[in-house]
Amino acid sequence: MIQEEAVHDLLCHLDTHKSMGLDGIHLRVLRELAEELAKPLSIIYQQSWLTGEVPDDWRLANVTPIYKKGPKEDPGNYRPVSLTSVPGKVMEQFILSALTRQVQDNQGIRPI
């Protein structure tokens, strides 16, 4: 169960110095509207968790190559950076947390 309070907490702790998501919503807006957004987002996250479906907009990403080191002509010297929707990233935090708990409880990862 994804609690409204947990969504609120994650939204309140967004780093406003990071870039906005692909949807163009600045993290500061999400952070300042955390109280109003927590309930609808928790409903969307819970429904997504139960059905295994993710909103279409959250599947979109803008992938950009970022130079690492070495000759710039070598494609292997770039790493891909994916810019995705911030609400989608918040949902990823819930999934990561659930998987981490599952593994830490020595249950491993197995189908439900």
The answer on pLDDT for 108 being more than 80 is no
- Portion of the chain with pLDDT greater than 70, in percent: 95
Indicate whether 59 belongs to any domain: yes
The answer on pLDDT for 111 being more than 80 is no
Distance CA 56, CA 29 (A): 22
CA-CA distances (angstroms) from residue 41 to 11, 49, 62, 72, 91? 10, 12, 23, 42, 9
Indicate whether 112 belongs to any domain: no
Of 15-19, 76-80, 84-88, 102-106, give the lowest mean pLDDT range: 102-106
Please, which pLDDT band fits residue 2 given cuts at 50, 70 and 90?
Answer: confident
List Cβ neighbours of 88 (8 Å cut-off, separation of 6 or more).
21, 54, 55, 57, 58, 59
Indicate whether 52 belongs to any domain: yes
Indicate whether 111 belongs to any domain: no
Which residues partner with 82 through β-bridges?
63
The answer on pLDDT for 89 being more than 70 is yes
**Average pLDDT, stretch 21-47?**
92
Indicate whether 81 belongs to any domain: yes
Distance CA 8, CA 72 (A): 43
Domain count of the fold of the chain? 1
Structural domain of 76: 4-104
Indicate whether 99 belongs to any domain: yes
- pLDDT at residue number 1: 80
**Average pLDDT, stretch 20-28?**
87
Indicate whether 109 belongs to any domain: no
- pLDDT at residue number 21: 82
Distance CA 12, CA 28 (A): 9
The answer on pLDDT for 109 being more than 70 is no
Which residues partner with 66 through β-bridges?
79
Indicate whether 97 belongs to any domain: yes
